[in-house]
Structure 1
Amino acid sequence: MADSAMDLLLERAKSDEQNAQLALVAAQQELEGYRRQLEQIEQYRFDYCKQMTARGQQGLSASNYGHLNRFIVQLDETLAKQRQAATSFEQKVEDCRIYWHDCREKYRALEWLCEKRKNEEKKRAEKIEQKQMDEFATLSYFRQLQKKSNLA
């Protein structure tokens, strides 16, 4: 494969790795935002329960109590759905992590291959240069011998 093709593959792999890393960071931020939202709902529920308890100590009608209780049940249902959604967010982060890791490994493998090819090309060039120098030295030696034999 030509060096330009390898360089193009290497550039593409690096770009894929960077994009995968950005996707991973975005998924992690999305998960953290979700967790903060979940904590806020839990805190709201806790505060609402405290408020209901305080009102209950002051005296609540059965109707008001039923209304407040239904709202807490709705909050509990919302929290249950949110917790189930956590699996989806966490799976997205894990999928992004795996994809990023795969892209990184592909990039590293191509980088290693390019480096290996460059080293092999350098060795070939050094052998050719050494061979040319040997030939030059041999030719030079024979020319000197020829000059000495022509002078003698």
Structure 2
Amino acid sequence: MQRKDPLLTVLKLEKDAEEQAALQLRSAQLEAQKRQTQLNALNEYRLDYMKQMDGHTGQALSANHYHQFHRFIKQVDEAIGQQVGAVREAETQVGYRQKHWQEKQQKRKAVEMLLDKKRHIAQVAEDKREQKASDEFATQQYFRNKNR
């Protein structure tokens, strides 16, 4: 009975780790995309509001209404600033997750290369054994036939 190569267990663990890292990367990408969408929505909202106020140009606005407009725009700008920070943070996380996934991928590939090398060495040894057995058989046949 042939015993299982421990590298196969290591390979399975590395594949699992790579898969987990890929899932984390995808999650980080989705979060970054979500935050970017929210930022885009805030920018659109601000633009729409500004256009709406621009439509009132030439009309008399009360000082109170004008003050509320500026206060509201300031709040929207603050929200946009916070969202820009959230987008940057999410993009940073994507970068970290990307690097982590690539490291896991490299480890898996290294284990696969080791297994391939071991298989190749074993195949070369098996080929040599077979060639030796074939040569011995041919030599024995030759001497049997010669001695007849």
Asked if these proteins are the same fold (TM beyond 0.5), I'd say yes
Pairs within 5 Å for 1:66-81: 66-81=67-82
Aligned positions, number: 146
Unaligned runs of 5+ in 2: none
Output the CA distance in 2 between the equivalents of 1:137 and 1:143: 10
Shift of 1:145: 4.9
Pairs within 5 Å for 1:3-82: 3-82=4-83
Equivalent in the alignment of 2:108: 107
| Secondary structure at the counterpart of residue 23 of structure 2 | helix
Q: TM-score, normalised by structure 1?
A: 0.85
Q: Which amino acid aligns with 1:34?
A: R
Equivalent in the alignment of 1:90: 91
Task: Give the greater-gyration-radius structure (CA).
Answer: 1
Structure 1, 20-29 or 96-105: larger mean CA deviation? 20-29
Higher helix residue share: 1
Task: State the identity as a percent.
Answer: 35
Q: TM-score, normalised by structure 2?
A: 0.87
Output the CA distance in 2 between the equivalents of 1:128 and 1:94: 51
Q: Deviations over 1:47-80 (max 9, x none)?
A: 1112223235322111111112101101111111
Unaligned runs of 5+ in 1: none
Are positions 1:134 and 2:135 aligned together? yes
| Secondary structure at the counterpart of residue 61 of structure 2 | coil
Please tell me the root mean square deviation across aligned C-alpha atoms, in Å: 1.8
